[in-house]
Amino acid sequence: MAQPYYWRIVGRNGYDVLARSETLVRKEHALEMARLLKTSARQLRFEVFRSNAGYQPWSWRVWADNNKILISASETYTSHSAANAAAESVKGNAWSAEIVDKTRSAASSSARW
């Protein structure tokens, strides 16, 4: 069985995982999806939704134009407005993010994505 791949959005502090993609079979697909979010975030559909996550029931996800999910769910938030603010922050700042391939070396521990 092939190794599963995924990509994630990491906060500016380098530690907080804001969101993660679904598991993908090919590394190229993970890199392609990360690049798509980086270059097209302002044109993609961000959706805030209520989940069953207990005391932090709000999350957000991102859809591509072809109705495929780029990010299935973000970290959870206590309010709709907090989840929306996080999604808007990603939408507005994705263009400046660094994409780091962590399958190449362990030296990239300060990765943004």
Average pLDDT, the chain: 86
Q: Closest Cα partner for 34 from 58, 60, 10? A: 10
Q: Kind and range of the H or E element at 34?
A: helix 27-40
User: What's the pLDDT score for residue 106?
Assistant: 46
What element of type H or E holds 37? Answer: helix 27-40
CA distance 27 to 2: 10
Report pLDDT digits (tens) over 37-81. Answer: 999 999 999 999 998 878 889 999 999 888 888 898 899 999 999
- The residue extents of the domains of the chain are 8-95
Neighbours of 111 (CB within 10 A): 14
* DSSP classification of residue 43: G
The predicted structure's pLDDT at residue 83: 94
Question: In sequence order, what DSSP letters do the residues of 59-106 get, joined into one string?
Answer: EEEEE-TTS-EEESEE--BSSHHHHHHHHHHHHHHGGGPPP--TTT-T
Q: Which fold has domain 8-95?
A: PH-domain like (2.30.29)
pTM over 0.75: yes
> To the nearest whole percent, how much of the chain has pLDDT over 70?
89
Backbone angles phi, psi at 48, to 5 degrees: -90, 135
Q: Is the pLDDT of residue 31 over 50?
A: yes
